[in-house]
Amino acid sequence: MATHRKKVKLDGDDFCPRSARDSNGSRTVMSLLDISARCVGEYIPFEMVERHFKPRIPEPVQKRIVYWSFPRSIDQVAIYSTLANDNSGRCIPFQHGLELLETDCVKDVLQIGFNLTGSVVDNVNYSRSTNLEMINVFGNQSVITQRVSMSFDRCTITSVTCSCSTMDMLWCAHVVALAVYRIRYPDKIELRLPISETLLDMNREQLQKFALHLIAEYHIDVLPTAQKLADELLGSNEAAINTTNGAPDPTAGAAVGDDHDWFLDVNQVESRVKNFLSRGIYYRSNQELLSMFSKIEELQKAADSNGPRMLTIITEQLLVDSRLKQWMTQHMPMAQKCRQIWDRLSKLWVGVALNPNASAENIQKWKFMLNEWSLRDYCPKEFDEYRVLPHTTDNTDSEDDDNSFLYERNRLNRIRDDRSAVTLSSSRSIFDSAIEACSLDWDDKFLQGIITGDSKPLINLVDEYNQSLGCNISVWRENLCIAASRVQSLKIHGNIDGALRLAVAIVYGMKEKFKRPKRKHDDGNLDEKCNDNWIGHPLNPVDTIFDILIEASTVTVTSYNNENSVICSCRSLRDCPVNTYLCSHTSKDIKHVRAPNSDNESYLALAYEFALFALSLQRWMPRNSNAQELMKKQEEALISRLRSIDLDSILKTVLRNHVWMLLNDDFPSLLSSYIDRNCVAMHSFAYYLFNSLIDVDQELAFQVGFRSVRLPLDMRRDGNWADQEIEWYIAPHIENSQYKLAGTMLQASQSLPDKLLGVLQAVINHMQSVKYLFKLAKDAMALALCPSNARNVGCGSKRDEDMLNCSFKVGLQVCRLTLHQTSNPKRTDMVRWLVACAVDVGIEALRTLMELWRSLFTPSEATSVLVLTILSTSTLNQLQLCRLREMELVSYARRLALECAREEPQSCCLNALKICRKDLNDFNEAFEIVVTNFNIIPLIELFAIARFFDSCEVYRAYRVALLAMRRVNLAHNQETHYIVSDVYWACSLAHSIGKPELTKMIQFVIKGVHCAPVLADILRRCATPAPSVCIVGGNGQKLISYKIEPLNLLLEAAINCYINTTHERLAHISPRQYSDFISFLCKARDTFLLAENGELQFQQHLIRLKSLYKGKKKLMALVMSQFGEFLKF
């Protein structure tokens, strides 16, 4: 609320002219001259008056007309000097101007005709003037005097000037001070006739003196202009100044055709908008522009023509915003803050176009202008996002927040990249609603009767619509968006009562439409379906109707006595002994105020029922992401407002009756037995209904919950939203709302087994978001382990078995749905949680998991999580089974592990061996599975299995290591490959067993390893005797000879690998690699020298290199420098 409305009384006797009172302050009868002059001064241009009085208007008449031509109320002054919706507490011009007036800072006020001038003394801390007439310094405080001038006509101030340097759209405080001074103290001001009248009384000599003294006083400023005018007057008779009758007089009244709008600094309005556009988008960046929109609404309410004018200026500036072209050419959605600005702009233009007091000429002018704007190349669309058709091949999993974000990001990437598939989601421009509003009229007699409250048209209207509501209730049947726009327009333009009457008629029209009995020829009630969404419309018609009805029920709290405050507890208003009853509200008090000519209903009850209808109606999911987001926000906002109202008995009755209508399929609602797959889900609204009804009518609450948990026709198939006719951009919000509803129902059904079973069935049938199913399962587990009857005293040992079983069954559904989602990062947590939950439930749950494991787990999960958990000591201790049942469970688990190993040996064999270790038969069977499937088991897994055997059965370890070595294939440059350490270990194992085993192992090493350094390392490792075959001599261990098998074969393979690798490296060598190559040759030399003729072989190798690569002179020079001794003959 504006500051001036808090501190200043704008209307009342204090601001009536003093001439209307006598010296005692009592009212006096105005003279006929004043009465007529008051009317003339307010409505008739002064030029028209002059035409009727020849040769001159009498001086007393002139003075009274001039006297009454100045505005008589400070309301408009406040509008032009106050920020709209400003709660910042800062010093605004209007408030500061009143302070200046009250501290007697207004001086030397003079009114000459239709011009008012004066001086205002101000503190320099507020004013930053560069054109000061006078500066006085009193101590440390500087005071300035500003010169103010304003012109006025027909009770409007048409222009203002001030010597201060304040550059703002609002009038400065000095203008406010002078204007309010004139309104409050008109008789204290010296009043003079227009200067032209004064000049008529002068003779030639006086006129000459007047002109010369004026020039002498301001010769620097006016002397050139005076000489120019003199030259024109004395020059040609055809000059314009000589052919025009009379001369301009700034103090005279306006001409007949002149506008007399209140002064608005157009340049400052443009500057503000340009400043907003130049700053870009940041936090609260659009607040200034939204404040200007509120100022426009304030002007419209005051019937000020500057409202549309200011809106036109803002629109023109916004349409040249360079970002519009950028967003459209790059196929990007508009920024959210800018979208908010344009939506507000569209709604304002609808209000302007629907102004009931606007002339046909103005409406046609606005329509032409709106049409011209809508045809511009970069005019925003009603929903301006570009989109592509859904890609049905996408298999995006949106079970997690991150995945949902990736899905949205990928969609936007498709929009940017696939230019050929881009299509506009909407062809309607942002101005189309306003253009359509220009074609509407207010001529309908029934509509006028509703607005004015005329009973005669209302009775005819009831007859025409064949009402059967039992009393003369006015109804209005029209498209809600149009009807709500009428209400908004009436409200904006000051007709609050008419807007309220029309809103009530609209609500009754809606009630009559949906509550009338169905007829056979009502083919689906096409007009009642969701073709035109009430919620999600850019004009937000539901909020418009709801707002005005709530405002009629809202009172500002000052103080109330407890004994006088009555809380309504009656079933209906007919039973109440008084007219109004106080209901509690979070921030304001709302009363049940009976609506006139209603069926004994209050505005609050009508607002509440209207909101319920709006939220209940089936509505299509829009094809556009911005439209879907707008629908979501409007729905959440409306539900939040309903939640803030405490329900008394009247509203509870309204709620119950409405819900029964929904369940009975009285009209196409979101609770109907059948809803189209492209309709919006109602989980958010159902969540509100369930919470509101659970303490009132438990059975009814659960009926609502069971029917509303569903998604429309289970639209989401195989975890993919993209296969729908319409892409659901707000799918994460829908899933979250569904989870909240299901969780609330789950908590309410505790200790109610039949309801719990129904909730479980609904959840399994209709919830397909694994993220929220998993959360729901964990919520149920928490409820089971800490039941409601134990929460007040802390969680004890008693638990809710029914809820625990429910948690387990939901967990089963989670694992079913995620079985084939290998990329799901939460899958491991889900599997572990389900197994832990089964342990808590008992042995039967574990048996269920083992029997159904194929539909719940992968073989790897079954062995690594399920079986290992069952066989753990902690699990067996927790189950507290008898010896026989424990042995049966363990045996079952081992058989399951073997089954998994047969089905997926590549990941289950190692776990199967560990699990079957204590049973020889099962252990042997697991080993045979490894041997049979060694060719599909990953190498790293095979080596891990071999290492597992090394701790218990060395020969089986050797056998598996040998099988693994058969599959090893290391290239010449894979010296750091992860499998190298396993190759070293396998050779060491074979070496420790015996020479035949080592010989066989080396055969596979030579075949599979082509990396010379690795072969050399194996050669040196095997040259050292193993502990089991040490040759003990006088000085200890001796090296095994490289001349005998199998080391001679390994040495030969290593030398050949070095030769081949040398050529491989030289084929693609660069100067940066020369030093590494020399180091490589040093290692090769060391290996060559282990052979009997190694020196000769290395010499020949160098000679071949020198011959083949003689073009690499620098490299060969380095080789000769390092190994020159080998080339000496």
Least confident of 58-72, 368-382, 737-751, 962-976: 58-72
Least confident of 51-55, 94-98, 188-192: 51-55
Within 37-186, strands assigned E span: 106-112, 115-123, 134-138, 141-153, 156-162
pTM for the model: 0.77
Nearest CA to 116 among 150, 145, 154? 150
Mean pLDDT of 410-420: 40
Q: How confident is the model at residue 1038 (pLDDT cuts 50, 70, 90)?
A: low
Provide the Cα torsion 1015, 1016, 1020, 1026; round to 10°.
-10
Nearest CA to 964 among 910, 1022, 901, 896? 910
The H-assigned helical ranges of 1072-1112 are 1074-1088, 1094-1108
For the stretch 628-671, pLDDT in tens is: 888 999 999 999 999 999 899 999 999 999 999 999 887 788 88
Least confident of 414-423, 892-901, 962-971, 1114-1123: 414-423
Q: Count CB atoms within 10 A of the CB of residue 476.
A: 24
User: Reduced to 3 DSSP states, what percent helix, strand and coil does the chain have, rounded to the nearest 5?
Assistant: 60, 5, 35
Sign of the four-CA dihedral 85, 87, 92, 95: positive
Q: Is the pLDDT of residue 8 over 70?
A: no
Which phi and psi angles does 176 have, rounded to 5°? -60, -45
Residue written as tokens 């032009």? 80
Q: How confident is the model at residue 330 (pLDDT cuts 50, 70, 90)?
A: confident
CA distances from 666 to 331, 656, 675 (A): 44, 14, 14
Mean pLDDT of 204-228: 76
Q: Which residues pair with 146 in a beta bridge?
A: 120
The token duo for 831 is 């599997």
Nearest CA to 34 among 214, 256, 187? 187
Q: Count CB atoms within 10 A of the CB of residue 279.
A: 11
The token duo for 143 is 């005071």
Do the bridges between strand 134-138 and strand 141-153 make them parallel or antiparallel, or are there none, so unpaired? antiparallel
Q: Is the pLDDT of residue 6 over 50?
A: no
Contact 249, 194 (CB under 8 A): yes
| Spatial separation of the C-alpha atoms in residues 251 and 229, rounded to whole Å | 20
Q: Is the pLDDT of residue 479 over 80?
A: yes
Residue 125: predicted pLDDT:
52
Residue 422: predicted pLDDT:
33
Mean pLDDT of 1093-1102: 88
Which phi and psi angles does 1087 have, rounded to 5°? -75, -40
Q: Count CB atoms within 10 A of the CB of residue 797.
A: 6
Provide the Cα torsion 654, 655, 656, 660; round to 10°.
100
Q: Is the pLDDT of residue 918 over 70?
A: yes
Q: Is the pLDDT of residue 127 over 60?
A: no
Contact 990, 952 (CB under 8 A): no
Contacts of 830 (CB under 8 A, 6+ apart): 770, 774, 811, 814, 815, 818
Residue written as tokens 């041997």? 931
Which phi and psi angles does 652 have, rounded to 5°? -65, -40
Mean pLDDT of 381-404: 45
- Per-chain mean pLDDT for the chain: 80
Nearest CA to 1077 among 1014, 1108, 1111, 1123? 1123
Mean pLDDT of 998-1024: 92
The conformation of residue 11, written as its DSSP 8-state character, comes to: S
| Spatial separation of the C-alpha atoms in residues 215 and 742, rounded to whole Å | 88
Q: Is the pLDDT of residue 19 over 80?
A: no
Q: Is the pLDDT of residue 105 over 90?
A: no
For the stretch 28-45, pLDDT in tens is: 788 888 888 888 878 888
Residue 967: predicted pLDDT:
93
Q: How confident is the model at residue 875 (pLDDT cuts 50, 70, 90)?
A: very high
| Spatial separation of the C-alpha atoms in residues 159 and 141, rounded to whole Å | 32
Q: Is the pLDDT of residue 414 over 70?
A: no
Residue 256: predicted pLDDT:
73
Contact 1115, 1074 (CB under 8 A): yes
CA distances from 949 to 239, 864, 923, 955 (A): 120, 19, 11, 8
Q: Is the pLDDT of residue 268 over 50?
A: yes
Q: Is the pLDDT of residue 140 over 60?
A: no
Residue 719: predicted pLDDT:
44
Within 773-866, strands assigned E span: none
Residue 903: predicted pLDDT:
94
Q: Report the range out of 61-75, 218-232, 275-289 with the highest average pLDDT.
A: 61-75
Indicate the residue type of 388: V
Mean pLDDT of 1120-1128: 75
Residue 409: predicted pLDDT:
39
Task: Say which residue, 1122 or 353, is predicted with more confidence.
Answer: 353
| Spatial separation of the C-alpha atoms in residues 655 and 458, rounded to whole Å | 29
Q: How confident is the model at residue 791 (pLDDT cuts 50, 70, 90)?
A: very low
| Spatial separation of the C-alpha atoms in residues 116 and 251, rounded to whole Å | 9
Least confident of 530-539, 749-758, 820-829, 986-995: 530-539
